[in-house]
Chain A
Amino acid sequence: MKYNSVFDIIGPVMIGPSSSHTAGAARIGKAARNLFGKEPTWARIHLYESFAKTYQGHGTDFALAGGLLGFDTDDPRMNKALDIAKERNLEIEFIEDSAGVSHPNTARLIIGNDTEQIELVGISIGGGKIEITELNGFELRLSGNHPAILIMHNDRFGAIASVTEILAKYQINIGHMEVNRKDVGKEALMVIEVDQNVDDSVLKELEGADHIEQIAKISS
């Protein structure tokens, strides 16, 4: 089930004009910011199909900027987000991309600062609901119905055990888990769907676990 709550249908409360192109775009921007863990200083955003054709009219541009600045869908500053981004020295470039994609409302965000960057693909599936389908080249299959922890790590023995040990200590149950790597001994990604929201203190502890590079969480 793509939608699991009545509030996916009646809601969100948002600044107009479009739930998929404005509210959904803001949520994709915010998910990117949360995964990056801080405010980026630059962003290159590729827009596809309906996003590419109508982003100016729908305010997709300011909504993505608003999300990157950490705004919620109903933040009254939303339609000023492009100006606010400039004030905060966040440089954003929009690229209308004609490449084929599987969903009409697709955005690829590459965001970063002087030292690090992340790349993710988000789709806006309607009514403000979004899915993150790709992170740093790894395909994601998140249901979005449960909170998830995304862990970039090095492909070494013990990395997974050190993470699950910490979750067990805090009695956090794993509902679904996937591990993927670029190549033997290289960059890898753990995707862990859990049953309850995870405290920041737990994330901090996970960051200190063996071979862990970067951690982010997605609330349901």
Chain B
Amino acid sequence: MFRTVAELVEIAEKENILISEVMIRQEIDMKDKSREEIFSEMEKNLDVMEQAVEDSLKGVESVTGLTGGDAVKVQEYMKENNPLSGQVVMDAVSKAMGTNEVNAAMGTICATPTAGSAGCVPGTLFAVKNQLNPTREQMIRYLFTSGAFGFVVANNSFISGAAGGCQAEVGSAGAMASAAIVEMAGGTPQQSADAFAMTLKNMLGLVCDPVAGLVEVPCVKRNAGGSSLAIVSADLALAGVTSTIPCDEVIGAMYRIGKQMPSSLRETGEGGLADTPTGRLLKEKIFGTSV
């Protein structure tokens, strides 16, 4: 069983297998299930992600009206214009935000690793797919690769905003997506680890400060940030850029930073953006009480 990214990469290199394969084999061992069962369980998650993206592109709105409709706006913009950040990045951004719009509207999503950060992995997957033309199996493997890295983070640090801030949620999710993109694009396990590290490094210190305590503002747009950064880091790693600080040490830094965060910046809706004049006003409007 791997406990660190270094071990994960070492197993993959030694046995000459993909990161996703290491995760799949471990799951088979742990759960005493067949490869087919595990693949079909993961494919169900993929189906849910696909459906959520599809739903979002029809346009959704949350109960509060704070979020919804931005995924559609971006898709329409892409049809009429040539986006400055490129079609793949904006497609990922749109689908990541869309997934989180569905989540905010209390629709059905698959947590990756959490609901608030559920956009990054599927958003990037359904965008890079158009360029990389993966098989269905490779799309399912994308989720195992993401999961392998998330598994290390969850066991060595945290994946919830209440425990470690948004760096633990969108930071982890975007980094997981980076690693999976690299594998799908044909990069090495070490390049996946570098991509992961580069995304997470750029997310360190990010606080969890949801307006009115709702998974809407800024969560939906943070998934736009996480998914675009995921693609940039994957490209950096594929270009041969490496992370000076090793992946496991970045995860360790994330843990220590989260431990130093006051509770007002860990999903209590008390600090940061939640505590701006507009944030407080929105809370009052929604719940009818002043902060």
Contact surface of A with B, Cβ cutoff 8 Å: 1-23, 49-50, 53-54, 56-59, 74, 76, 78-79, 103-105, 124-129
Residues of chain A lying within 8 A (CB to CB) of residue B163: 103-105, 125-126
**Least distance between B125 CB and chain A CB atoms (Å):** 11
Residues of chain A lying within 8 A (CB to CB) of residue B113: 9-10, 19, 126-127
Bound Cα distance A50, B163 (Å)? 9
Residues of chain B lying within 8 A (CB to CB) of residue A3: 151, 154-155
Contact surface of B with A, Cβ cutoff 8 Å: 1, 3, 23, 26-27, 30-31, 41-42, 44-45, 48, 102-116, 118, 121, 143-144, 146-148, 150-151, 154-155, 158-163, 168, 176, 210, 212-216, 263, 266-270, 286-287
Most buried by A among B42, B144, B214: B214
On whether the beta carbons of B147 and A57 are closer than 8 Å, the reply is: no
Bound Cα distance A128, B26 (Å)? 21
On whether the beta carbons of A14 and B114 are closer than 8 Å, the reply is: no
Residues of chain B lying within 8 A (CB to CB) of residue A15: 106-108
**Least distance between A154 CB and chain B CB atoms (Å):** 36
Bound Cα distance A15, B107 (Å)? 5
The 7 A-B residue pairs with the shortest CB-CB distance, nearest first, are: A54-B213, A126-B160, A16-B103, A9-B150, A57-B213, A6-B147, A17-B215
On whether the beta carbons of A22 and B115 are closer than 8 Å, the reply is: yes
Partner of A20, one of B102, B106, B160: B160
Bound Cα distance A124, B159 (Å)? 11
On whether the beta carbons of B45 and A11 are closer than 8 Å, the reply is: yes
Return the chain A residue nearest B30 by Cβ: A4
Bound Cα distance A192, B1 (Å)? 25
On whether the beta carbons of A20 and B162 are closer than 8 Å, the reply is: yes
On whether the beta carbons of B30 and A5 are closer than 8 Å, the reply is: yes
On whether the beta carbons of A7 and B41 are closer than 8 Å, the reply is: yes
On whether the beta carbons of B212 and A57 are closer than 8 Å, the reply is: yes
Return the chain B residue nearest A127 by Cβ: B113
Bound Cα distance A11, B147 (Å)? 9
On whether the beta carbons of A16 and B104 are closer than 8 Å, the reply is: yes
Can you report 8 A-B residue pairs in the complex whose CB atoms are below 8 A from each other?
A6-B23, A13-B110, A17-B215, A17-B216, A19-B114, A54-B214, A105-B160, A125-B163
Residues of chain B lying within 8 A (CB to CB) of residue A11: 45, 110-112
Bound Cα distance A79, B48 (Å)? 18
Residues of chain B lying within 8 A (CB to CB) of residue A49: 162, 263, 268
Return the chain B residue nearest A2 by Cβ: B155
Partner of B154, one of A17, A59, A126: A126
Partner of B45, one of A10, A50, A57: A10
Bound Cα distance A13, B44 (Å)? 9
On whether the beta carbons of B109 and A13 are closer than 8 Å, the reply is: yes
Residues of chain A lying within 8 A (CB to CB) of residue B162: 20-21, 49-50, 104-105, 126
On whether the beta carbons of B267 and A12 are closer than 8 Å, the reply is: no
On whether the beta carbons of A16 and B268 are closer than 8 Å, the reply is: no
On whether the beta carbons of A9 and B269 are closer than 8 Å, the reply is: no
On whether the beta carbons of B287 and A12 are closer than 8 Å, the reply is: no
Return the chain B residue nearest A52 by Cβ: B268
Partner of B111, one of A54, A104, A127: A127
**Least distance between A159 CB and chain B CB atoms (Å):** 31
Residues of chain B lying within 8 A (CB to CB) of residue A54: 210, 213-214, 267-269
On whether the beta carbons of B106 and A6 are closer than 8 Å, the reply is: no
On whether the beta carbons of B266 and A104 are closer than 8 Å, the reply is: yes
Return the chain A residue nearest B283 by Cβ: A57
Residues of chain A lying within 8 A (CB to CB) of residue B108: 13-16, 74, 76
Residues of chain B lying within 8 A (CB to CB) of residue A129: 154
On whether the beta carbons of B151 and A53 are closer than 8 Å, the reply is: no
Evaluate whether A17 and B115 lie within 8 angstroms (CB atoms) in the complex, with A3-B154, A9-B154, A126-B154 already known. yes
Return the chain A residue nearest B116 by Cβ: A18
**Least distance between A60 CB and chain B CB atoms (Å):** 10
Partner of A9, one of B151, B266, B267: B151
On whether the beta carbons of B114 and A126 are closer than 8 Å, the reply is: yes
On whether the beta carbons of B115 and A10 are closer than 8 Å, the reply is: no
On whether the beta carbons of A18 and B143 are closer than 8 Å, the reply is: no
Partner of B3, one of A1, A8, A78, A127: A1
Bound Cα distance A8, B144 (Å)? 11
Return the chain A residue nearest B150 by Cβ: A9
On whether the beta carbons of B154 and A5 are closer than 8 Å, the reply is: no
On whether the beta carbons of A18 and B215 are closer than 8 Å, the reply is: yes
Bound Cα distance A4, B216 (Å)? 30
Bound Cα distance A106, B106 (Å)? 22
Q: Give 18 new A-B contacts, CB below 8 A, not counting A16-B215, A58-B215, A125-B163.
A: A3-B151, A9-B151, A10-B111, A10-B144, A13-B45, A13-B108, A16-B107, A19-B111, A49-B263, A53-B270, A54-B213, A54-B214, A57-B210, A58-B214, A79-B106, A124-B160, A127-B113, A127-B160
